[in-house]
Amino acid sequence: MQDVLIIGGGPAGAALGCYLSMKGISNTILEAEVFPRDHVGESMVTATTRIFSEIGFLETMERAGFIRKYGASWHPTASKASVHVEFGEFPQEGIEQDYTYQVDRSLFDALLLKHAQKLGSNVYQGVRVKKVLFDGDRAYGAEVQFADTTQTLEAPLVVDASGRNTLIGSQLKIKQKDPLFNQFAVHAWFEDVNKGERPDDIHIHFLPIKRGWVWQIPITDKITSIGGGNGKRSLPRSQIRLRSLV
């Protein structure tokens, strides 16, 4: 029996596995997909570098050659003006570098999960947690689908790191949508995009509609992620303006 079962091998589950293993706490990470996997969310915030440093992952990120992200830029709808922020202007406790990273999530997630495994986490990919097992209000294990068989794994602590799927929240029917974040987004990767005067920034281009935006994120020297998001209502096709970005 492991001390902790972690449902989900994404960044949250993998980072937790690293912390637990570093403290000698046995843990098993159960991931439904097989990495590498495609995933949106390529631009890191500065606070993540403290976590990566604590679990000894920064060296791996540097070796992987992820784009260093020194700042962010915001662009209004009505003019060519922009506002820039340099992360080095806002020092944070425990963070010793003035940049974070723009990442290819398929590579980043795979490297982080592998790092957790290297530190001691037991990692299973391609397995699906069917349900969390409860004794009253206490979770004591999970029913897990391994290929054609279902097994019960028990642990004193079960952590739901399944992300937006919120396995426990859905199972217990306590999941509630936040109306403020009732949003959608679409994105794709493009080659040879004009990245502007600050090529390593994340660029946020505001659209002339309520709560609408387009992001521009450099993934490599050649590839740029471009996507748009909107809240509460559909985004009319006629209002999407990407011509100035590509």
Burial of residue 18 (number of CB atoms within 10 Å: 0-12, 13-18, 19+)? buried
Q: Is residue 64 part of a domain?
A: no
Q: Which tens digit of pLDDT belongs to each residue from 118-167?
A: 999 999 999 999 999 999 999 999 999 998 899 999 999 999 999 988 99
Amino acid 79: pLDDT: 74
20 vs 39: CA distance, rounded Å: 25
Amino acid 164: pLDDT: 84
Same structural domain, 193 and 146: no
Q: Mean pLDDT throughout 5-34? A: 97
Amino acid 235: pLDDT: 42
Residue 94: give its domain's CATH number: 3.30.9.100
Which structural domain, as residue segments, surrounds residue 77? 70-99+178-246
- pLDDT surpasses 80 at 84: yes
Confidence band, pLDDT 50/70/90 cuts, at residue 231: low
Amino acid 238: pLDDT: 40
Q: Is residue 62 part of a domain?
A: no
Share of the chain above pLDDT 90, in %: 72
Residue 11: give its domain's CATH number: 3.50.50.60
Task: Count how many domains the chain has.
Answer: 2
Same structural domain, 235 and 192: yes
C-alpha dihedral, 188 to 60 to 161 to 154, nearest 10°: 140
Same structural domain, 221 and 120: no
Share of the chain above pLDDT 70, in %: 93
Same structural domain, 119 and 35: yes
Same structural domain, 88 and 115: no
Asked which of 144, 171, 198 is the last residue of a domain, the reply is 171
Same structural domain, 30 and 110: yes
Same structural domain, 167 and 190: no
Same structural domain, 225 and 126: no
Q: Which tens digit of pLDDT belongs to each residue from 166-194?
A: 999 999 999 888 777 777 788 899 999 98
Amino acid 232: pLDDT: 55
Q: Can you give the three-state secondary structure of the chain, one letter per residue? A: CCCEEEECCCHHHHHHHHHHHHCCCCEEEEECCCCCCCCCCCECCCCHHHHHHHCCCHHHHHHHCCEEECEEEEECCCCCCCEEEEHHHCCCCCCCCCCEEECCHHHHHHHHHHHHHHHCCEEEECCEEEEEEEECCEEEEEEEEECCEEEEEECCEEEECCHHHCHHHHHCCCCCCCHHHCEEEEEEEEECCCCCCCCCCEEEEECCCCCEEEEEEECCCCEEEEEEEEECCCCCHHHCCCCCCC
Same structural domain, 132 and 185: no
- pLDDT surpasses 90 at 196: no
**pTM (predicted TM-score):** 0.88
Q: What is the mean pLDDT of the chain?
A: 89
- pLDDT surpasses 90 at 99: yes
- pLDDT surpasses 70 at 241: no
Same structural domain, 15 and 110: yes
- pLDDT surpasses 90 at 239: no
The angle subtended at Cα 168 by Cα 166 and Cα 170, nearest 5°, is: 65
Same structural domain, 109 and 95: no
From 72-81, 120-129, 217-226, the region with the lowest mean pLDDT:
72-81
Same structural domain, 150 and 38: yes
